Amino acid sequence: MNEKEVKLIEPTETLREAFGELIQGFHVAGEIEQPPGSCWKDEDDFATFMRRIRDYARGENLPDGWVPDSAYWLVRGKRILGVCDLRHRLTEALRDFGGHIAYSVRPSERSKGYGTLMLKLMLGKARQLGIDRVLVTCDAGNIASQRVILKNGGVLESESYSAQAGRATQRYWIDLAEPGRQTAPRSENRSP
């Protein structure tokens, strides 16, 4: 992987066809759940989908219980390699399952380092929002995601059954505070 050829961008109408190919790739791989960063609904036209992404990032027209959420796509040229979400704050439900950042690499592009790079770049976005500690969750059996999180400084806080997810989930914290800068005690540190 050549990192210079890959960049993290906000979703754009110019990649409509590439996004359709990405979604098709997830379906072909048998992954029914929509990847993060998409909020795509099968009945959507692309303009509605793009408007929803922009609204969610501004905290507008959110479904009940949702928080502001910025979507990004990892791209190489006109190919979308992965999608990700940055939730601007946590709810109790997101503390259980989901966390601040969710990401998924296109099935045909996995095991090439894109997940690690995408999470690294998303941590920079979280830092820009003023988030000092980022929660990232993954399924307890998802070894690839565990490796991505650990490579980005994740520290396992817990593993337990999540009724919301319907499976065992691991919760990792990644500290983004600059060295020497004090953060709130762990029990009180809340993202914005």
Tens of pLDDT along 7-24? 999 999 999 999 989 988
Domain count, the chain: 1
Q: Each residue of 67-117: pLDDT tens digit?
A: 999 999 999 999 999 999 999 999 999 999 999 999 999 999 999 999 999
As a whole number of angstroms, the distance between CA 20 and CA 99 comes to 26
Range 131-135 average pLDDT: 97
Which CATH number does the domain housing residue 88 bear?
Answer: 3.40.630.30
Let me know if 13 is exposed, middle or buried by CB neighbors in 10 A (0-12, 13-18, 19+).
Answer: exposed
pLDDT of 157 above 90: yes
pLDDT over 70 at 192, yes or no: no
pLDDT class of 41 with cuts at 50, 70, 90 = low
Domain that holds residue 36: 3-175
Residue 185 lies in a domain: no
Average pLDDT over every residue of 41-62: 86
Half-sphere exposure of 92 (CA within 13 A, CB side): 1
* pLDDT exceeds 50 at position 188: no
User: What phi and psi values does residue 52 have, to the nearest 5 degrees?
Assistant: -65, -45
Determine, yes or no, domain membership for 181: no
- Does residue 182 lie in a domain region? no
As given in the structure block, the two tokens for residue 58 are 């501004």
Half-sphere exposure at residue 139, Cβ-oriented, CA atoms within 13 angstroms? 9
In contact, 75 and 111? CB cutoff 8 Å = no
163 belongs to a structural domain? yes
What sign has the CA pseudo-torsion 75, 111, 87, 182? negative
- The answer to whether residue 108 is domain-embedded is yes
Q: Is residue 189 part of a domain?
A: no
Q: Are 175 and 133 in contact (CB under 8 A)?
A: yes
31 falls in which pLDDT band (50, 70, 90)? confident
Q: Is residue 60 part of a domain?
A: yes
183 domain-assigned: no
Question: Smallest Cα–Cα separation from 139: which of 116, 159, 111, 163?
Answer: 159
Q: Calculate the average pLDDT of the chain.
A: 88
pLDDT bracket for residue 190 (50, 70, 90): very low
Give the mean model confidence (pLDDT) for residues 31-48. Answer: 68
Residue 38 has what pLDDT?
56
Which ranges in the chain belong to alpha helices (H)? 16-28, 46-58, 92-96, 114-128, 143-151
Is the pLDDT confidence value at 33 over 90? no
